[in-house]
Amino acid sequence: MSFTLHTSSEQQTELLGKALAGLLAPDDVVVLAGDLGAGKTHFAKGVAEGLGVEEPVTSPTFNILLVHPGRLMLHHFDLYRMEHPEQLEDIDFWGTLEAGGVSLIEWGDRFPEALPEDHLEIAIHREDAERRRFEITGRGERSTALASLWVTACGQTGTFS
């Protein structure tokens, strides 16, 4: 089942992430897709805030993985610079996904075969300079329930505010 939400500012995108964070549990995996500048890192900042992360959150593009302590440990991946799924072994990708924290994977759609069966997929689309459309798909029982809870928490209108 798929859902759609909209935001009309960077602040709303961050609030959308914060709303999801309140529903996340250990070992949840969230995959973010979207073009450069779509809002993946703003969304990640909101998730981090909602998890109680106190340090600044930036895109981990040059580090591949940044780990942030909070209510749950946030494993923030950015797979943009990776070329082959075999490289995921070098960063203990699968071990990290099962380490009891929340894994937020920017550009995770580049390696769909490497993703766990149960994950929340969020494709972010730029509609204009400010507005974003979030296409949300739960893959697996837990993530489908999570998607439904999150969209319900954000309201039935499909627009988050």
- Structural domains in the chain, CATH included, are 2-142 (3.40.50.300)
- The answer to whether the Cα torsion of 6, 8, 10, 15 is positive or negative is negative
Q: Is 76 exposed, middle or buried (0-12, 13-18, 19+ CB in 10 A)?
A: buried
Question: Do the beta carbons of residue 32 and residue 44 sit within 8 Å?
Answer: yes
Query: How much is the pLDDT for 157?
Result: 46
| CA distance readout (Å), 58 to 41, 55, 116 | 7, 10, 25
Question: With pLDDT > 90 as the criterion, what percentage of the chain qualifies?
Answer: 80
* Closest to 40 measured CA to CA, from 58, 65, 23, 20: 58
For 102, residues 6+ apart whose C-beta sits below 8 A from its C-beta are 21, 24, 25, 26, 27, 28, 29, 30, 47, 51, 72, 73, 74, 75
For 20, residues 6+ apart whose C-beta sits below 8 A from its C-beta are 30, 46, 47, 50, 150
Compute the mean pLDDT over every residue in the chain, rounded to the nearest whole number: 92
Residue 161 above 50 pLDDT? no
pLDDT in tens, 49-102: 999 999 988 876 678 999 999 999 999 999 998 999 999 999 999 999 999 999
> pLDDT grade, residue 160 (50/70/90)?
low
Residue 69 and residue 47: Cα distance in Å, rounded? 12
pLDDT in tens, 94-126: 999 999 999 999 999 999 999 999 999 999 999
Pull the structure tokens for residue 35: 């073009």
Mean pLDDT of 120-137: 95
pLDDT in tens, 22-44: 999 999 999 999 988 899 999 99
